[in-house]
Every structure is written in C-alpha cells, then in structure tokens.
Amino acid sequence: MAVDLLRGTLDMLVLKALTRGPMHGYGIARWLEQVTSDALSVEEGSLYPALRRLMQRGWVRAEWGVSENNRRARYYTLSRKGSSQLEREVAAWDRFKGVVAEVLDVPEG
C-alpha cells in the first residue's frame, strides 16, 4: 500500500537519507523505498525540485561524480546547516505525532 506524503515531510526524509552519506537522486529514492518496504515511492517530479530547494536553503550540497553504472550523476551531501535542520524537523515531527496520538486516543462519544 502506497502512502501519500504530508506536505513538508519529503524534505525531512531526503535530509535523513543523506545522513547515510553522499547519494544521487535515484539512490535517495531507492533507499526510501527499501526502508519503507516500498510503502513510499518518490517520483522524480517531486524529488528533484525538493533537492534544488534544499540546496538553495544551504541544507544540501551537490557535486558531479560517476555512478555505480559508470554514468555521470550529481551526488548530494548533507551540510552542517542541513543536519541542524533535520534535528529541528524530527523534533517537530515527534511533537506532531504525539498530538495526533492524543486526539486519536480520545474515546468516542
């Protein structure tokens, strides 16, 4: 079953993926699919604009390299600012999860 991403969560997930080290866009998408047992599928039309946005904010850096199949690819790395932003976003996400859990735990009626 595929899950629709809430607005804003893609940035956090991309930053988390990059904590594993430099990755190209396809690698980020595949990692997200693998760790979620294919529940999350990120389309190129969402991923690459997100990567550009993260670069503009200084949270991600990019440089050209050669992929596993010997093709030119842009590799993305998490910046120090990006690491700090990820910490803030994870804290906010944890607060959000707690609030939603409180609402769902209210008895009906």
What Å distances lie between residue 10 and 7, 65, 109, CA to CA? 7, 24, 36
pTM as predicted: 0.88
pLDDT confidence band for 95 (50 / 70 / 90): very high
Question: At residue 2, does pLDDT exceed 80?
Answer: no
Mean pLDDT over residues 21-45, rounded? 94
Residue 4 belongs to a domain:
no
How many domains, in total, are found in the chain?
1
Whether 2 is covered by a domain: the verdict is: no
- Mean pLDDT calculated for residue range 49-65: 96
In a domain, 91, yes or no: yes
Dihedral of the alpha carbons of 102, 104, 106, 109, in degrees to the nearest 10: 160
Could you tell me the residue range of the domain that residue 21 belongs to?
9-105
For the segment 6-27, what is each residue's pLDDT rounded down to a tens digit?
667 999 999 999 999 999 999 9
70 is a domain residue: yes
In a domain, 94, yes or no: yes
Would 54 be classed as within a structural domain? Answer: yes
- CATH code assigned at 80: 1.10.10.10
